[in-house]
């Protein structure tokens, strides 16, 4: 529809049986074909009658209106964000499994809990717990260097602490998944 045609003022009967004079055509976003309240829909009427929530089969959308275009864009954005989050979770899960297997094969006596990866810096942070109640990352430097060589990236080991600042040990079951 041409822009001048969208901005044209019209007189229409709305679904609440009221007549509206001098309505901008762009404000009419659809029509209801239900025989008891046949008429034009504005955004407010659409929301108050809950046409979308009810999935009304009588609703005829005017898809070229800004309302529907923005709604479609928001929906697509939400879907894209959900997919991105799912892919990130899968990536994180795979990183964790890979690091755990590598630590097991390397015979490092630590439990890897989480692995974060910063793509922009090509940098891994490996969170772990061990049997020691102090920061013992230096005992696992051979593992760390081997992991860095394997991944062709920098990496850092971080011993997890509890809320009191104490290093968590394997004996403390609350951190095991």
User: What percent of the chain shows pLDDT beyond 70?
Assistant: 94
Is the pLDDT confidence value at 170 over 90? no
pLDDT for position 137 = 87
Would 156 be classed as within a structural domain? yes
Last residue of a domain, one of 64, 96, 111: 64
Is the pLDDT confidence value at 159 over 60? yes
Would 132 be classed as within a structural domain? yes
Would 72 be classed as within a structural domain? no
pLDDT for position 110 = 87
Phi, psi of 31 (to 5 degrees): -135, 150
pLDDT for position 176 = 47
Average pLDDT over the chain reads: 89
Would 73 be classed as within a structural domain? no
* Strand ranges, E, within the chain: 9-13, 19-24, 30-32, 39-41, 59-61, 111-118, 123-129, 154-159
Q: Are residues 91 and 150 in the same domain?
A: yes
Could you read off the pLDDT of 88-130 as tens digits, one per residue?
Answer: 899 989 999 999 999 988 887 889 999 999 989 999 999 999 9
Q: Are residues 91 and 130 in the same domain?
A: yes
Q: Are residues 39 and 93 in the same domain?
A: no
Full domain range(s) for residue 19: 3-64
pLDDT for position 30 = 93
pLDDT for position 135 = 87
Would 75 be classed as within a structural domain? no
Is the pLDDT confidence value at 20 over 90? no
Is the pLDDT confidence value at 81 over 50? yes
Would 41 be classed as within a structural domain? yes
Q: Are residues 36 and 94 in the same domain?
A: no
CA distance 130 to 39: 70
Q: What is the CATH number of the domain that holds 142?
A: 3.30.300
Q: Are residues 16 and 91 in the same domain?
A: no
| Residue keyed to tokens 């490092």 | 108
- How many structural domains are present in the chain? 2
Residues 6+ apart with CB under 8 A from 112: 96, 99, 100, 103, 126, 127, 128
Q: Are residues 59 and 108 in the same domain?
A: no
Q: Are residues 102 and 36 in the same domain?
A: no
Phi, psi of 76 (to 5 degrees): -65, -40
Would 69 be classed as within a structural domain? no
Could you read off the pLDDT of 35-69 as tens digits, one per residue?
Answer: 888 999 999 999 999 999 999 999 999 999 999 99
Would 70 be classed as within a structural domain? no
In a 13 Å sphere around the CA of 127, the CA atoms on its Cβ side amount to 13
CA distance 37 to 34: 6
Q: Are residues 41 and 89 in the same domain?
A: no
CA distance 44 to 52: 12
pLDDT for position 2 = 55
């Amino acid at each position: 529809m041409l822009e001048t045609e969208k901005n044209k003022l019209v007189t229409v009967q709305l679904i609440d049986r009221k007549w509206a004079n001098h309505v901008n055509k762009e404000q009419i976003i659809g029509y209801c074909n239900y025989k008891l309240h046949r008429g034009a829909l504005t955004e407010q009427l659409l929301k108050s009658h809950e046409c979308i929530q009810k999935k009304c089969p009588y609703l005829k959308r005017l898809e070229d209106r800004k309302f529907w275009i923005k709604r479609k864009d928001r929906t697509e954005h939400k879907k894209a964000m959900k997919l991105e989050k799912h892919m990130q979770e899968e990536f994180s899960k795979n990183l964790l499994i890979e690091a755990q297997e590598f630590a097991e094969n390397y015979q490092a006596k630590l439990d890897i809990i989480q692995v974060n990866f910063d793509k922009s810096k090509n940098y891994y942070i490996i969170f772990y717990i061990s049997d020691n109640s102090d920061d013992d990352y230096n005992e696992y430097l051979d593992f760390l260097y081997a992991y860095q060589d394997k991944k062709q990236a920098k990496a850092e080991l971080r011993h997890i602490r509890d809320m009191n600042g104490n290093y968590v040990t394997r004996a403390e079951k609350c951190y095991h998944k």
